[in-house]
Amino acid sequence: MKAILAALALATPALVLAQQSPSAGTTPATTAAAPAKESAAKPKAKPEAKHETKHVTRHETKRPVRHVAKKESESTRRQNLKSAAVNAAAGVEAAEAALTPAELAIAEHVYTGKLPCELGESVTMTPDPQSPGRFDLQFKKARYHLSPVPTQTGAVRLEDPKSGAVWLQLPGKSMLLNEKLGQRLADDCHNPQQATVAERMKEHPGPGLFGPATSTAGASGATK
């Protein structure tokens, strides 16, 4: 009997250990399953990120393209308008470019540069590089585009039909008139050569082409 009790006493701890060992073995499996579930749940967030990225990319790229297209269309329209204006100006220049040999001969005798006038005024005569035989005259803030016109008196006459300006160049002086307004804008304009002739005429006066009482209309008519 004592031997049986001793055997039971020895077997009892072994049974207790056998019952506890499965529960201890299930704990790591449970903990291992938890990370697996978390890892399986994490990849689901990637498609959402891709969807947001695509949405943002499409939204950001479409607007600049439309804006650039509008700018290009506006610049193209401006270039077309500018080229049309240039072509129109070229047509006008081509239409007025046909000067006769007599008119070109007159242009060769026009004095150019800055010419002092009476009352402290001055004019600046510059050849038009785009239209040989024609000149640009600057007087104060006004600018005239002048073309040579033949005369019967031999005086050099340049006219701007648009403004009515007339430039008369004589041996001893030049003057700027406005036939439309009936005004003499600048008088006694001269270059060094004309100044020399004017001094000589003072020493040896003769019948002048323009007297003090000569009107502007008569002066311009006398040189036609």
Predicted local confidence at residue 149, as pLDDT? 95
Residue among 142, 173, 146 at smallest CA distance from 161:
146
Predicted local confidence at residue 202, as pLDDT? 85
Predicted local confidence at residue 144, as pLDDT? 97
pLDDT above 60 (res 26): no
pLDDT in tens, 189-224: 999 999 999 889 888 776 655 554 444 445 555 455
Phi–psi pair at 162, nearest 5 degrees: -65, -50
Instruction: State the Cα–Cα distance between residues 155 and 222, nearest whole angstrom.
Output: 10
Work out the mean pLDDT of the chain and round it to a whole number. Answer: 74
The token duo for 183 is: 């005004």
The residue type at 39? S
Contact between residue 175 and residue 198 where contact means Cβ atoms under 8 Å apart: no
Work out the average pLDDT over 17-45. Answer: 49
The token duo for 30 is: 């449970």
Instruction: State the Cα–Cα distance between residues 147 and 168, nearest whole angstrom.
Output: 12
Chain centroid to CA 147: 31
What's 172's DSSP letter?
A: S
The pTM score is 0.51
Instruction: Give the residue ranges of DSSP H helices in the chain.
Output: 2-41, 45-96, 101-107, 192-203, 216-222
pLDDT in tens, 125-180: 999 999 999 999 999 999 999 999 999 988 999 999 999 999 999 999 999 999 99
* Count of other CB atoms within 10 angstroms of residue 166: 25
Length of the chain: 224
